[in-house]
Amino acid sequence: MEEAHQAAGRGGPGGGLRGLGADDAPAARPVALTDIAGDTGEPVPTNVAELDRVLVGGLVPGSITLLGGEPGIGKSTLVLQALAEMAGRGRRGLLVSAEESPTQVRRRAARLDALVPGLWLVAETSMPGIQAAVQEIKPDVLVVDSIQTVWDPDLDSTPGSVVQVRGCAHRLSVMAKADGLTTILVGHVTKEGTLAGPRLLEHLVDTVLSFDGDRHHALRLLRSVKHRFGPTGELGLFEMTGAGLEGVADPGGLFLVDRRCGTPGSVVFPSMEGQRPLLVEIQALVVQTPMVSPRRSATGFDAGRLALLLAVLDRRAGLSLAHHDVYVSAVGGVRISEPGADLAVCMALASAQTGKPVGDDVVVLGEVGLGGEVRQVAHTPRRLAEAARLGFARALVADRGPDEGPLALRRVPTLAHALDQYLGGDRSTLSPLRVVGADPAAAERAAAQAAAHPASG
């Protein structure tokens, strides 16, 4: 029953199955797929550009979205700005403030220039109260800030409990589907990164957005973790200013502003965040340690992947860090999850170990396989074009890649080649690094020797 019910709701926000809500649908009747209206459910822009980017156009009418993030990151600010923008375009908004008093919300709204007609506020925590407010105002968009502080007297559980949070979210999602009411739920995420409340709700909502960044810095990153109406993977970038969140329109070199050139262990990786190329500095630090199990720390990069790359460096490129603590960090709060960053991480490690900086005008791009081979990466031309636009002149890339581009390309078939090329001819002075495997110079010497003494060969 529950299943059929949810299926009906999902038939499309604003779709042909509307009206088969929770309270009036003893049984959902099958409908021919072709009879269902398919042209509704177009996203409506919020006019907060970076939010629309992540939502791939905007909020789909009747959809339910969960916005999660740590306390203080700017969730309330973001939803208020979005509501004000939408109200300014004639879409009625209702903000349910379950945490803050109307005075607090008004003060924030004044700061954000969000005191616009068409935007309603109710300070309410109980589900019946929220439903009454929705009946009265009949908004197009409903925001509940936050879902963790809302409770339902019908549920036999204390406010804030899992049962309450889940139960209230369920009722709100049924309401959203039944009335075609676009709904945003704000949810707090604990410092440990577990979506304490929100994770429980992921399956109940259409879209899950995660808002994060370093609270001590102005930069805020918005991502979609789940999106029923389009691809995930777009990154929205904001700066928290004195007057609210401002979108960062040209983020290309955003993460490079504090970069100190000439530092060993620093490598620039041209990443792709959704459709946008984004240049990110990867830093590595390598410190000798007497400990039996040295430390491996990865910030903004997968720790398991780091362990794998350390193993490949050791076995395939002769760079052993078995007696070193290793720290790798993607600068600026970005999270790098694409394997295209492998080569950049390896180069950063080698650079940190040898104390030899990688050139300031170089970007590094390539996936590293277990055999030590370097593989090409999707969207290479776009990434390199962005690097060129931002003033980079050279790129270290896989052997098989685009033929030419705006940058001088250094092609490397293997990780050993990459280290070799980057270390140039004076490897011997850099004792910590042994380059094994393909070594053209050694091969040449051997060939010359063989030619000089054919008999002994």
The CB density around residue 52, as the number of other CB atoms within 10 Å, is 21
Q: State the residue for tokens 């309450």.
A: 164
- 76 or 81, CB closer to Mg ion? 76
Beta bridge partners of 224: 209
- 79 or 346, CB closer to ligand TYD? 79
Which does residue 394 touch among Mg ion, ligand TYD, none (CB within 5 to 8 A, set by kind)? none
Cβ contacts of 83-87, under 8 Å, gap ≥ 24: 83/114, 83/119, 83/141, 83/143, 84/109, 84/112, 84/113, 84/114, 84/115, 84/116, 84/119, 85/46, 85/47, 85/48, 86/44, 86/46, 86/47, 86/140, 86/141, 87/116, 87/117, 87/118, 87/119
Residue in 26, 90, 117, 242 binding ligand TYD, rule: CB under 6 A = 242
Q: Which two tokens stand for residue 221?
A: 């990153």
- 71 or 304, CB closer to ligand TYD? 71
Residues 6+ apart with CB under 8 A from 6: none
- 189 or 346, CB closer to ligand TYD? 189
The residues in 53-72 that bind ligand TYD, with binding defined as CB under 6 A, are 69, 71-72
CA of 157: how far to CAs of 152, 154, 188, 433, in Å? Answer: 9, 9, 20, 62
The residues in 71-110 that bind Mg ion, with binding defined as CB under 5 A, are 76
Helix/strand/coil for 138: coil
Q: Which of 245, 197, 257 is nearest to 67 (CA)?
A: 197
Nearest-approach distance from CB 162 to ligand TYD, in angstroms? 21
- The CA dihedral of 66, 71, 73, 76, to the nearest 10 degrees, is 60
Nearest-approach distance from CB 38 to Mg ion, in angstroms? 37
- 208 or 365, CB closer to Mg ion? 208
Which does residue 440 touch among Mg ion, ligand TYD, none (CB within 5 to 8 A, set by kind)? none
The residues in 100-119 that bind ligand TYD, with binding defined as CB under 6 A, are 108, 111-112
Tell me if 77 contacts ligand TYD by CB under 6 A: yes
Which does residue 433 touch among Mg ion, ligand TYD, none (CB within 5 to 8 A, set by kind)? none
Nearest-approach distance from CB 76 to Mg ion, in angstroms? 3
Tell me if 240 contacts ligand TYD by CB under 6 A: yes
Helix/strand/coil for 263: coil
Q: For ligand TYD, how many residues bind (rule: CB under 6 A)?
A: 15
Residue in 73, 172, 185, 312 binding ligand TYD, rule: CB under 6 A = 73
Nearest-approach distance from CB 416 to Mg ion, in angstroms? 51
- 240 or 395, CB closer to ligand TYD? 240
- 145 or 234, CB closer to Mg ion? 145
- 20 or 240, CB closer to Mg ion? 240
Which does residue 315 touch among ligand TYD, Mg ion, none (CB within 5 to 8 A, set by kind)? none
Please tell me the distance from the alpha carbon of residue 427 to that of residue 433, in angstroms, as a whole number.
8
Tell me if 149 contacts ligand TYD by CB under 6 A: no
Nearest-approach distance from CB 243 to Mg ion, in angstroms? 17
Q: How far apart are the first and last CA of the chain?
A: 81
Neighbour order of strands in the sheet with 119-122: 119-122, 93-97, 141-145, 182-188, 64-69, 207-212, 219-227, 235-241, 244-247
| Residue nearest Mg ion, CB atom distance | 76
Q: Residues in the site for Mg ion, rule: CB under 5 A?
A: 76
Q: Residues in the site for ligand TYD, rule: CB under 6 A?
A: 69, 71-77, 108, 111-112, 240, 242-244
